[in-house]
Homo-oligomer: A and B are copies of this chain.
Amino acid sequence: MNLSQKSQRTVNAGAASVGKPPLPRPAPIGRRERRTAETRIRLFRSALQLIAERGLSMVTVGDITEAADVGKGTFFNYFASKDHVLGVMAEIQLGKVREAAAMADEGTRPIRDVMHRLVLRLAEEPGRSPSLARAFISSFLSSEEVRAVIRQHMQEGRRTIAKLVAAGQELGEIDGGLKKDKVAIQLLQAVMGTVLLWSLHERPGLESWIEDTFEHFWRSVAVSGNEQEP
């Protein structure tokens, strides 16, 4: 599976799961809902591309609808503002956390691998460009309405990551003396801090920054003698 197929799958999973219970895979949906979801995703992807190229302040709703090939009024059926488009990011990131939980449930890979893969996946979209990463963070900060959406998704994300931590503790990979909820918060903070600092410095790529961050994170939580990659 190549990168673009992977992203597409995640975007669809994220969009389809809005307002549904936290299943790793969404239930099948009807044609109309599918078309609605497709338009929403097309608008999101067009916005992402333009913001990555130009920065949030240089992109209008008209630019986004033109790139997505839909009428300008259509935009407001899906999103209250430009900032709200970036709120979709929270859904996409939550989709990746659910994927990680599903992978942990399979029980075929060490939790270290599952969490390592998760942080790399979380860095994928913001890592496309520093300008895009800054736009994501700005949208977090912009309005109480957007923040409420992000907070809600992030709470589910925290709970799901805490379950990964508990699984790692049961398997003897993660120090059993640590509180799983606090470890989950540390992981989220580490990813967000990395994206923020990288978006100021811009080089090298976010991937190499996030590798260092994961190594640092894992050293802190691993049971003694289990810090290194197996």
A residues near B (Cβ < 8 Å) are 134, 137-138, 140-141, 147, 150-151, 154, 182-183, 185-186, 188-194, 196-197, 199-201, 209, 212-213, 216-217, 219-221, 224
CB within 8 A of A213: which of B189, B196, B209?
B189
Q: Tell me the interface secondary structure of chain A in the complex.
A: helix
Q: A138-B141, A193-B191, A193-B193 are in contact. Are A186 and B213 (CB under 8 A)?
A: yes
The number of times this chain is found in the oligomer is 2
Interface contact A197-B189, CB-CB below 8 Å? yes
How far is A196 from B189 in the complex, measured between Cα atoms in Å?
A: 8
With both chains docked as a complex, state the minimum distance between the C-beta of A119 and any C-beta of chain B, in angstroms.
12
Residues of chain B contacted by A151 (CB below 8 angstroms) = 200-201
Extra contacts, 16 of them, besides A188-B197, A224-B224 (Cβ < 8 A), are A138-B138, A138-B141, A140-B196, A141-B199, A150-B200, A151-B201, A183-B216, A186-B212, A186-B216, A189-B190, A189-B213, A193-B194, A193-B196, A217-B220, A219-B219, A220-B220
Most buried by B among A189, A191, A194, A201: A189
